[in-house]
Amino acid sequence: MKLLIVEDEKALADSIYSYLQRENFVCEIAPSYTGALERIAQDDYDCILLDISLQDGDGLELLKTLKSNHKTDGVLIISAHSSLEDKVSGLHLGADDYLPKPFHLSELGARVAAIIRRRHSAGSHFIRLDDIEIDIQAHLATVKGRSLDLTRKEYQLLLYFAYNKGRVVSRNAIAEHLWGDDTGGTDNYDFIYTHIKNLRRKLVEAGAGDYIQSVYGMGYKLTIP
Ligand code: CA
């Protein structure tokens, strides 16, 4: 799942980035108000971690922009001043949650995970796709009760398909969501084909249906009968 870290304190942004990457999130950093504005115009994120005091602008204005453009990215405000006023106006503007600095990274991770769960699986730790079950807390997928041996990227792919069930996702969107800035600007997404092929094979071998289908010229779609 893809996150945007809007934070102008570089050391803090870097430590959040490394922590959340270890927690299996794909992360991008926007170190300024203007940088964040560009990122959110170009892309959708599962959750945006939003520092509201930025040197070149007010993070709450970013939140207003998101909402006025009808974007549905989750938003967790991280704020240096733990004032009740900031908290109330942030939540009022549509942020999902608010975390005052300083915070423990583990708490930040838990809040982000909770926002994503609420957005995608009504708060549950489990997603069921016919005979596939995904335990998003344990990062584990099972078919008919037997756990699948998936690589990290295969697991992330499955989760991404689950969150976009019934919708066509382009290879470009998959690359953006699973690799973020690490695609190195290439527009050759053949490597995605290999990951999808392996995921489909593992699902079918475990006895699940072949739910991930390619849609010619468009991408892929997970359809549950
Ligand atoms: Ca700041």
Q: In whole angstroms, what separates CA 102 from the centre of its chain?
A: 23
- Residue 186: predicted pLDDT: 65
CA dist., res. 107 & res. 85, Å (int): 22
- Within 13 Å, how many C-alpha atoms sit on residue 76's CB side? 26
- Residue 184: predicted pLDDT: 63
Q: How far is the CA of 7 from the centre of ligand 1 (A)?
A: 6
Q: How far is the CA of 16 from the centre of ligand 1 (A)?
A: 14
- Residue 151: predicted pLDDT: 95
Domain ranges of the chain: 2-121, 126-222
Which residue positions in the chain have pLDDT lower than 70?
A: 82, 183-187
Structure tokens at 58: 């007010």
- Residue 103: predicted pLDDT: 94
Q: How far is the CA of 11 from the centre of ligand 1 (A)?
A: 11
Phi, psi angle pair for 10, to nearest 5°: -60, -45
Q: How far is the CA of 59 from the centre of ligand 1 (A)?
A: 9
CATH T-level assignment (fold) for domain 2-121 = Rossmann fold (3.40.50)
- Residue 1: predicted pLDDT: 82
- Residue 121: predicted pLDDT: 80
Q: Taking phi first (over 0 means left), then psi (-120 to 50 degrees means alpha), and beta for anything else, what does residue 28 get? A: beta
Burial of 73 (0-12, 13-18, 19+ CB in 10 A): buried
- Residue 24: predicted pLDDT: 83
The CATH number that domain 126-222 falls under is 1.10.10.10
Q: How far is the CA of 56 from the centre of ligand 1 (A)?
A: 10
Percent of the chain at pLDDT exceeding 90 = 67
Q: Which of 117, 83, 119 is nearest to 100 (CA)?
A: 83
Q: How far is the CA of 55 from the centre of ligand 1 (A)?
A: 7
Residue whose pair of structure tokens reads 């927690």 in the numeric block: 23
Q: How far is the CA of 62 from the centre of ligand 1 (A)?
A: 14
- Residue 88: predicted pLDDT: 84
